[in-house]
Amino acid sequence: MSLRQVDFSKVLNDDQVYDHMMRSYDQLGRDWIVHQWNWMNNVYKAFNDHYKYLIVISLVEKTLQFYDQMNILHSFEHFYSKPSLYIEKFSITELCEKLQLPKETVRRKVLELEKLGVLKRVKKQIIIDRSVFSQVKPEKQIKLTSKYIYLISEILNKDGIYQKKLNVKLIENTIKKNFSLVWRWFYRMQIPMIIGYHEVFEDVATFHVWGTVVMNQAFNYKKNIDESTVHSLTPDYMTFNKGVVTDQENEETSGVSAMSLSDMTNIPRATVIRKCKYLVDQGYLKPNEKKQYVMTGMNIDKILPYQRKVFKNKAKFLRKTLNLLTIS
């Protein structure tokens, strides 16, 4: 499509997407939580270590940034057709600054990735062997992300600010066709999110455990809303989250045991127990009478203000992708 065919008055901006997303959070909240929880599970599953995955995708994002700057576009198939990915001018210091992690932590994780055969350093260049880290290939994630983009597009259609009618398959195909561009946008949404939650919880695994309790409670909250109640709810972000937190008082709402958290995340049970103790001590979680973990009001006071920053990045990713879909 040529630029002359694009009606730029119909192009979305970040504020439009953010405002409609937050006002319609009762329709989107649970799907977003599931989207992020699945992604965090994949983050951990790749190497049984959140930080190793974060290092690898940060290196991949650096390559995607170079492609973008040079106006080079790779499809999903083409990007993953080569056996190796070369990153020029690799620097531990640069990686530490980007990830806001101690130098010794990054150095140790890079060495562990080298022992696994995932990374190979040649002077100042680093090579990623794609055959070793097939878990990082985002086949399933593209499907989940496409579904969420479709949901937000339907809301924007209904509100009259987005004209193009989409379907999940069209979105998925467009992402794959423009993979190196769209997935750079995706990583620029997700990498700062992990870095930020690492700062909030002092550890990514702790955030993963907390997020799993949040997902369970969000599902229970939606399940416990009957048809007579749903239309009286204020469909905004704060109302949804306050409902999720206070719904723990509902007798039908169940928390999550340490064993279930371990099964759901694949994080060892001993580690989960330790992370839950920290979350209880800090006031983020509390055990119920069944020794299951549920959220507390601390989540609204401390976490939600930070989540607004996360959602600003989400709005930017959605705006760019939806505008790309408009002109594709």
Q: What is the pLDDT of residue 197?
A: 93
Distances, alpha carbon 39 to alpha carbons 105, 123, 159, 278, 324, in Å? 23, 33, 29, 23, 23
pLDDT at residue number 230: 43
Q: What is the pLDDT of residue 133?
A: 59
At 272 the pLDDT is: 98
Give the start-to-end residue ranges of the domains of the chain: 3-46+135-327
What b/e string do you get for 211-231 counting C-beta neighbours within 10 Å, with b at 16 or more? bbbbbbbbbbbbeeeeeeeee
Amino acid identity of residue 66, one-letter, is F
Q: What is the full per-residue pLDDT of the chain (328 aa) written as tens digits? A: 444 465 655 789 999 999 999 888 888 888 999 999 999 999 999 999 999 999 999 999 999 999 999 999 999 999 988 888 888 788 899 999 999 999 999 999 999 999 999 999 888 789 998 776 566 789 999 999 999 999 999 999 999 999 999 999 999 999 999 999 999 999 999 999 999 999 999 999 999 999 999 888 887 765 554 444 444 444 465 565 555 555 455 555 579 999 999 999 999 999 999 999 999 999 999 998 889 999 887 666 778 778 888 999 999 999 999 999 999 8
d(CA 120, CA 99): 20
